[in-house]
């Protein structure tokens, strides 16, 4: 595990905010649609970037960024994450974490220390189906613990689901919905076959726009706002 990437600037998902992006390598899942397969399967192809170098790069940009998005891969697997978030908060920046939600203890530590301003959690499929993504048998419990933690957390919160037909259907939305009841935002993303991690995914057919909208109507029973992206 290591920090592998740093990008100059990019838009945060929150209007009007500019952020830098930091990528961690490695992941405990193998989502067939993953669009960062290099970071997940062959992270050694990217050079490691030392923590103090990342902090220095961010510090140089402090005058025109609002925050930093920490993404991956899965950042919660790396012991450097807490230290990085601490350093970034020390620079007076906002910190957003992108995570698959399978490390509730790490998330709790970050929240307890006030190191996060925003969290985006990927909801992959019904919790009991996570072993289909390579997760261990405790993944469903871990995800539920994360979602319970975030119910009361003082952070901007976004749930995201990539709607690959083999993984996400009406039954999966119905299984996830009660776990995120009342959340501010649930984003349903169109599945994109091109460049997907698994060969099977690369040849699978996405939902039609009207099928995505049907899932969105279903999800709207649970979330305050539902957005469909990528159509």
3-state secondary structure at position 218: helix
| Positions in 35-94 near ligand SF4 (CB under 6 A) | 36, 40, 72-74
Residue 37 or 169: the one with the smaller Cβ distance to ligand SF4 is 37
User: Which CA distances in Å does 57 have to 2, 5, 69?
Assistant: 16, 11, 14
Q: Three-state DSSP class for 200? A: helix
Nearer to ligand SF4 by Cβ, of 93 and 197: the residue is 197
Q: Are 120 and 96 in contact (CB under 8 A)?
A: yes
43 vs 93, beta carbon nearer ligand SF4: 43
Smallest distance, Å, CB 27 to ligand SF4? 3
Q: Is 1 in the site for ligand SF4 (CB under 6 A)?
A: no
Q: Which of residues 103-132 bind ligand SF4 (CB under 6 A)?
A: 122
Distances (CA, A) of 21 to 13, 57, 59, 98: 12, 11, 13, 10
Site string for ligand SF4, 161-200 (x = CB under 6 A): ----------------------------------------
Footprint on this chain of ligand SF4 (rule: CB under 6 A): 27, 29-31, 34, 36, 40, 72-74, 100, 122
């Amino acid at each position: 595990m290591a920090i592998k990437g740093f990008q100059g600037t990019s838009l945060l998902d929150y209007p009007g905010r500019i952020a830098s992006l930091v990528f961690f390598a490695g992941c405990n899942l193998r989502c067939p649609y993953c669009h960062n397969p290099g970071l997940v399967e062959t992270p050694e192809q990217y050079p490691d970037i030392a923590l103090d170098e990342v902090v220095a790069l961010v510090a140089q940009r402090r005058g025109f960024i609002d925050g930093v998005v920490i993404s991956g891969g899965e950042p919660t697997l790396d012991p450097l994450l807490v230290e990085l978030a601490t350093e970034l908060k020390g620079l007076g920046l906002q910190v957003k974490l992108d995570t698959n939600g399978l490390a509730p203890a790490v998330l709790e530590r970050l929240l307890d220390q006030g190191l996060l301003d925003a969290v985006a959690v990927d909801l992959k499929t019904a919790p009991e189906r996570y072993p289909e993504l390579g997760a261990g048998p405790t993944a469903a419990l871990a995800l539920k613990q994360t979602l319970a933690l975030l119910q009361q957390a003082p952070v901007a919160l976004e749930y995201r689901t990539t709607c690959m037909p083999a993984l996400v259907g009406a039954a999966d939305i119905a299984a996830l919905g009660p776990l995120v009841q009342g959340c501010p935002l649930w984003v349903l993303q169109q599945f994109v076959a091109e460049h997907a991690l698994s060969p099977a995914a690369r040849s699978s057919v996405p939902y039609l726009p009207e099928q995505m909208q049907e899932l969105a109507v279903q999800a709207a029973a649970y979330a305050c706002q539902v957005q469909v992206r990528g159509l």
